[in-house]
Each structure stands twice: as C-alpha cells, then as structure tokens.
C-alpha cells in the first residue's frame, strides 16, 4: 500500500512595491493613508489642497510590503505653490509600481454620474505613466450601495483598470480587500524595501510643523488656510527620554499679509493659543513626551507666488 502525505500548499510569493495615491483634492487620499498606517501621519482637513508634499507611508503584511505615496490633489494650478503641488503628484507616477486612482462614490441628480475634466486629466496622466492602475471608489459610507453600479459602469471604460474597488477610508470598510488587490499589483520581491520599523519618511520635526498647519486650517476660514506655511525653527529634545521627558519646539507661522497675521493671532492671542493647545496635544501623543510649543507669526508677502519661497518652505 502506498501512502502519500498531505500535498504541500504552494507558498504565496512575497511582493513589495511603491503605490501612488492620486486623485482630485479632498477625495480621501490622506485619510486612507492614515487608516492603512494606524497613525496620524498625513494631516486631514475638510479643505482641498491640504496635502502639499509627497508623504511616504509603509504598510507591512505577511506576504507583502506596500510603500504608499500620498500626493497633493491634482487641480488647475495657479501660482508657484499650486504648480509645485501638481508637479509633485504627477511626477510621483514615474517612481511607483502601481497607481491607486481615488474618486468618490455617489451619483448626481437623477442618478447621473458626472466625470469632471479634472478627474479625466488625472486618469490621462496615469495612462501616460503606463503603470498598473486600480480605481478606488472612496466614501462608501456616504453613498447608498445602489449608486455604486452606475459609478463603476461610468468609469470602467475610461482606462484599462487592473481592478475597481469600492471602500471607505473613514470607516475601513473593504480596505482590507483594497490592500489585497494593491499587493497583487506590485512585483514579487526577495525582501522588503524598508526595515519593518519604518512607518514614514516624515521626520518628527516636519510632523510638528504639519500638526500646527492642520490646526490653522481647521480654525480659520476663507483665504487664510492657503496662505499659511509653518516652519519649525527649534526642535530641542535634550530633555527627552524613553517613555517621557520634554521636547521644546519653536515654530514660525508665515502668512502673506498683515490682515492675515491679525486673524491668525486672534483677539488677545486667543486663536493662536487654541491652535497651539491642540497641536501640542497631538504632538505629545506622537512623541510620547511633554511638549512645550512656542508659536510666532510673521508676514512673508505673497510667498505662495514666489518659486524660491515655495522651495524654501515646502520640504
């Protein structure tokens, strides 16, 4: 009598690669990155053009490592700042193994699906890159399930998508499936691209500046959020120790006009104090230490229109 043991299961190949998160402003790219990482690495506000630079986030799984690039929203660029943001987003497509094009779920009046010229421009850039592309339909939590089919139908012939995946970055619904699809789209690899303890390329100093800018965007209105830059001048961690200690941070908030400076400071310094309090609370969670945060406001006239200033103030 012949006995053969259990048939060995075929080992799943390890995959590793870079994935660009690309789309129009406010479609949920940064919310998705934070969901995937389980950390508040990319600042999030309801305002478009919150993300100004490319942010790396590394996600590890049992058979994959995905290095995501969160990119600024692609929009009609006016001025040096906006042109740089769009250039960063489009340029990233040449450096990745796959692209996740993110749109929003939902339909317009009468169940119509309206695809704007901006979204078509994003898809055209992805097509030019010749990278495998997955269409991610975000904000599933806000749209009735019945609206998904017409959205998928409207987009399916606009590009040769590797897959179309609805999901919710806010609630996490179907995000696990999205990761599986993305992992299958990147190359097989003998080893991960990054050590397992690498989460992001954002230095703590830069995260401190972004946390302050996030609160400024949330607590101000009109043109202020788009005219603000934050520069950390001092990041002193000499008194920091494992599990506690103190970090002293001094940051300079730049605006374009004196009237904006007055708004950012607020009556008797109330708004700037509120910004500092909330940013400090987030930083203490991030750094695992007490934080002393000092903020100053300076006018740098029309900095968003000057290429030199944009290069200096954006990492």
| Domains along the chain with CATH numbers | 15-185 (3.40.50.300), 204-313 (3.30.300.20)
> What long-range pairs does 174-179 form, CB within 8 A, spacing at least 24?
174/140, 175/32, 175/35, 175/36, 178/100, 178/134, 178/136, 179/36, 179/59, 179/61, 179/64, 179/66
Contacts of 169 (CB under 8 A, 6+ apart): 28, 31, 32, 35, 138, 139, 175
pLDDT of res. 222 = 80
Residue 177 · residue 165 · CB < 8 Å: yes
Residue 93 · residue 99 · CB < 8 Å: yes
DSSP track, 40-56: --S---SSTT---S-EE
pLDDT of res. 6 = 58
Q: Which residue's structure tokens are 């904006």?
A: 260
Rounded to 5 degrees, what are φ and ψ at 267?
A: -65, 120
DSSP track, 78-128: -HHHHHHHHHHHHHHGGG-SEEEEEEE----GGG-----HHHHHHHHHHHH
Contacts of 214 (CB under 8 A, 6+ apart): 43, 44, 45, 50, 279
**In residues, how long is the chain?**
315
Tell me which DSSP letter residue 190 carries: S
pLDDT of res. 280 = 97
pLDDT of res. 49 = 84
Q: Digits of tens for pLDDT over the chain (315 positions)?
A: 444 455 555 678 999 999 999 999 999 999 999 999 999 999 999 988 899 999 999 999 999 999 999 999 998 877 898 889 999 999 999 999 999 999 998 877 667 888 999 999 999 999 999 999 999 999 999 888 888 899 999 999 999 999 999 999 999 999 999 999 999 999 999 999 999 999 999 999 999 999 999 999 999 988 888 899 999 999 999 999 988 999 999 999 999 999 999 999 999 999 999 999 999 999 999 999 999 999 999 999 989 888 888 888 775
pLDDT of res. 3 = 47
């Amino acid at each position: 009598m012949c006995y053969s043991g259990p048939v060995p299961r075929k080992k799943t190949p390890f995959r590793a690669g870079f994935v660009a998160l690309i789309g129009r402003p406010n479609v949920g790219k940064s919310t998705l990155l934070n969901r995937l990482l389980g950390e508040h690495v990319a600042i999030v506000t309801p305002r478009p053009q919150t993300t100004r630079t490319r942010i790396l986030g590394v996600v590890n799984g049992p058979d994959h490592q995905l290095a995501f690039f969160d990119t600024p929203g692609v929009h009609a660029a006016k001025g040096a700042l906006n042109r740089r943001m769009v250039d960063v987003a489009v340029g990233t497509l040449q450096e990745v193994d796959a692209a996740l094009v993110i749109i929003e779920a939902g339909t317009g009046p009468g169940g119509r699906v309206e695809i704007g010229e901006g979204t078509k421009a994003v898809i055209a850039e992805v097509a030019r890159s010749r990278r495998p592309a997955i269409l991610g339909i975000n904000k599933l939590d806000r749209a009735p399930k019945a609206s998904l089919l017409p959205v998928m139908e409207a987009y399916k012939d606009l590009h040769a998508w590797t897959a179309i995946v609805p999901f919710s970055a806010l609630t996490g619904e179907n995000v696990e499936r999205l990761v599986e699809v993305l992992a299958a789209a990147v190359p097989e690899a003998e080893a991960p691209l990054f050590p397992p303890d690498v989460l992001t390329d954002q230095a703590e100093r830069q995260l401190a500046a972004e946390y302050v800018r996030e609160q400024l965007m949330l607590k101000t209105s009109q043109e202020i959020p788009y005219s603000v830059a934050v520069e950390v001048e001092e990041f002193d961690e000499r008194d920091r120790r494992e599990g506690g200690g103190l970090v002293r941070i001094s940051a300079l908030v730049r605006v374009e006009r004196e009237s904006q400076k007055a708004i950012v400071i607020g009556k008797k310094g109330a708004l700037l104090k509120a910004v500092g309090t909330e940013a400090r609370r987030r930083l203490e969670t991030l750094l695992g230490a007490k934080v002393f945060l000092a903020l100053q406001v300076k006018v740098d006239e029309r900095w968003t229109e000057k290429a030199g200033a944009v290069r200096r103030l954006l990492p």
